[in-house]
Every structure is written in structure tokens, then in C-alpha cells.
């Protein structure tokens, strides 16, 4: 394992963060129907009180609403907050100078002078990785961000980004990718191992598989909205895994399925960033910290997850 650079070490000390895609998003999450800003303010406050200080947002979440909300919540808290946000190169923002400009706009919405982590949201054939990284390097030079991350990059794309940054002595801080008990592609294709080898923090998004791993959805009770369609294929297959998670949780004094799912990602060496819509969910997710699954339990969960023909 490579020595983690001093600039990015703080990310390796964070066990869990809070995802903010839900903040203002109506399409996937139905913001404004079953939950509102008041609920999210409580989600934020309880997470901070529980010691979760790292919030992951993006300029596209709620078309800027998520970043604005984060800014409001930060103003009203005493807790120090670590901010991660993201850039996506829409077709009209393909120059490397577009990136610092996009970050300045994000920072204005959040109301801070710099971010702790700035990530490119997705790779795109419309912009080379070298050019993207040139833009990110500029953000560091202008002190608009402390560190640089990527998201949804494959292993070879990640190595290209890593080398481009290294030429300017900038470490690649993180790669944020889909990782959960129902999506272990990064374990199987070697990306997780490569991140550990290079000292890159693997940030796990959708660690609860968008609510499926909580056990509250099944073939007869689909999640609302678009998730009912996108997750439909997994729903009939997950029951044995959920049953095992519940039984393992009981052996740990009544830990919930969500807590087992999040603890599993932590045991694998990743940093999960679950989203929450209300204070009950946030409080429950925070209970994934402070205890550990045994190696044997992790193996049992791996085996049960292997039985499900997901990714």
C-alpha cells in the first residue's frame, strides 16, 4: 500500500459521510413530497452531532439546490464541515478553464471560499482526462479546493488521472463509485485493490443500494418513482441476503440492516456516503459506526451477495 500523501490524509481518517443528492432532487427522490428542507436540516444537524462531518454534494443535485441548502445549513452550525462537490462537463463547458469557473459558482452557492474535495462527476468522451485534470490542477493552484477527486472512473481512466496530477505533484485523493453488497463490481475488477495500493480513497456511493439493503422493499413493495423500475430486477432475489443481514445484526445487539450494509463497506476499506431523507434514517445510519462485523460475517455476507446475479 502506498503512503497516503499529507494533503489527502484527512479523507482516510473519515469513516463515513453524508450524501446530499436527495437535497432538492425531485426526479429520483421526490423531494417536496415525502420530505422537505426542514427534514434535511435535521438530517444534517443530527449527522454533525454524531460526528459525520463530510458532506458529498454536486452542482447537478437539484440543479444547485443541494449546494445552496448545504450553504444555509453550514451557516447555522457550530460543527466544522468538510465539503465535497462535483463538476460535470456539459457539452458547452469543455475547456479546462470551465472547471475553475464551475467550482467558483459552486463555492458561491455554498457560501465558502474553498472546497475540501472537488471531483469530476463522470468521465466523458467529449473531454480528455488530461484536459479535465488540467482544469482540476488550476482549481488547486487558485486555492479553490484542497484536494482533487474523480468519480465513476474505471481503473485505466483513474491511472490516467493519477499520472496527469502526479506530473504537477498533486495527489489523486479519491475515486467515488457505486459500491454496495448488491454491486461489487469494483471488488471483482480490481479497482478497490488498486485504490488501496495507490493511497486513493474509495468513496462508496449508493451503499444502501438506494434503500434496497434496508430490507423495507421487496418484489411486492417496490420503491417509489424511477427506482421502482431501475431496481426491479434485484427485488425478487434479495430476500436471503436481507435475512442473513438481519440475523448478523441481531448478533451485534440489534443492529439494523442499514447499519450492517454500511459497516460491511467500511470493513472493505471504503468510505460510504449514505443519503437520508429524515432524521430517523440519518440517526440509524450513524449507528453503523463504533462497532465492526467479524471477518467471518463479512465472508458470509460476500457469499450471500454472490448468490445474487447483480453486478
Binding residue (CB under 6 A) for ligand NAP from 8, 210, 263, 305: 210
- Sole residue written with cell 447537478: 60
Q: Is 281 in the site for ligand NAP (CB under 6 A)?
A: yes
Single out the catalytic residue among 31, 35, 61, 179.
61
Q: What is the Cα–Cα distance from 138 to 136, expressed in whole angstroms?
A: 5
Q: What are phi and psi of 246, to 5 degrees?
A: -65, -40
Q: Is 211 in the site for ligand NAP (CB under 6 A)?
A: yes
Binding residue (CB under 6 A) for ligand NAP from 47, 53, 175, 206: 206
- Cβ 221 vs Cβ 277: under 8 Å: no
Q: Which stretch binds ligand NAP (CB under 6 A): 1-9, 68-76, 94-102, 203-211?
A: 203-211
Binding residue (CB under 6 A) for ligand NAP from 273, 286, 288, 293: 273
Q: Is 185 in the site for ligand NAP (CB under 6 A)?
A: no
Q: Is 47 in the site for ligand NAP (CB under 6 A)?
A: no
**Smaller CB distance to ligand NAP: residue 57 or 160?**
57
Q: Is 263 helix (H, G, I), strand (E, B) or coil?
A: helix
- Which residues does 92 contact at the CB level (< 8 Å), separation at least 6? none
Q: What is the Cα–Cα distance from 135 to 66, expressed in whole angstroms?
A: 23
Q: Is 19 in the site for ligand NAP (CB under 6 A)?
A: yes
Binding residue (CB under 6 A) for ligand NAP from 39, 67, 116, 284: 284
In the bound complex, what is the minimum distance in angstroms from residue 206's beta carbon to ligand NAP? 4
Residue 61 designated active-site? yes
- Annotate 33-83 with DSSP letters as a single string: TS--HHHHHHHHHHHHHTT--EEE--TTGGGGHHHHHHHHHHHT-SS--EE
Which positions are annotated as active-site residues? Answer: 61
Amino acid at each position: 500500500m502506498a503512503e497516503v500523501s499529507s494533503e489527502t490524509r484527512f479523507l482516510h481518517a473519515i469513516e463515513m459521510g453524508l450524501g446530499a443528492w436527495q437535497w432538492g432532487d425531485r426526479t429520483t427522490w421526490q423531494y417536496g413530497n415525502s420530505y422537505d428542507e426542514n427534514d434535511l436540516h435535521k438530517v444534517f444537524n443530527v449527522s454533525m452531532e454524531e460526528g459525520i462531518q463530510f458532506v458529498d454534494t454536486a452542482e447537478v443535485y437539484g440543479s444547485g439546490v443541494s449546494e445552496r441548502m448545504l450553504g444555509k445549513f453550514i451557516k447555522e452550525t457550530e460543527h466544522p464541515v468538510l465539503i465535497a462537490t462535483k463538476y460535470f462537463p456539459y457539452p458547452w463547458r469543455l475547456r479546462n478553464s470551465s472547471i475553475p469557473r464551475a467550482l467558483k459558482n459552486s463555492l458561491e452557492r455554498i457560501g465558502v471560499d474553498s472546497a475540501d474535495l472537488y471531483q469530476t462527476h463522470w468521465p466523458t468522451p467529449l473531454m480528455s482526462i488530461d484536459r479535465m485534470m488540467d482544469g482540476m490542477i488550476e482549481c488547486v493552484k487558485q486555492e479553490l479546493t484542497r484536494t482533487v477527486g474523480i468519480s465513476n472512473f474505471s481503473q485505466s481512466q483513474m491511472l490516467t488521472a493519477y499520472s496527469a496530477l502526479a506530473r504537477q505533484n498533486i495527489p489523486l485523493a479519491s475515486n467515488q463509485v457505486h459500491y454496495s453488497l448488491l454491486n461489487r463490481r469494483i471488488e471483482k475488477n480490481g479497482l478497490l485493490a488498486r485504490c488501496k495500493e495507490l493511497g486513493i480513497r474509495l468513496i462508496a456511493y449508493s451503499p444502501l443500494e438506494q434503500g434496497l439493503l434496508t430490507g423495507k422493499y421487496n418484489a411486492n413493495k417496490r420503491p417509489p418513482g424511477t427506482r421502482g423500475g431501475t431496481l426491479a430486477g434485484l427485488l425478487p432475489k434479495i430476500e436471503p441476503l436481507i435475512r442473513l443481514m438481519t440475523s448478523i445484526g441481531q448478533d451485534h445487539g440489534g443492529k439494523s440492516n442499514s447499519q450492517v450494509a454500511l459497516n460491511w463497506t467500511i470493513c472493505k476499506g471504503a468510505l460510504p456516503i449514505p443519503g437520508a431523507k429524515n432524521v430517523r434514517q440519518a440517526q440509524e445510519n450513524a449507528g453503523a459506526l463504533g462497532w465492526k462485523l467479524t471477518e467471518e460475517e463479512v465472508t458470509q455476507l460476500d457469499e450471500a451477495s454472490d448468490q445474487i446475479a447483480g453486478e
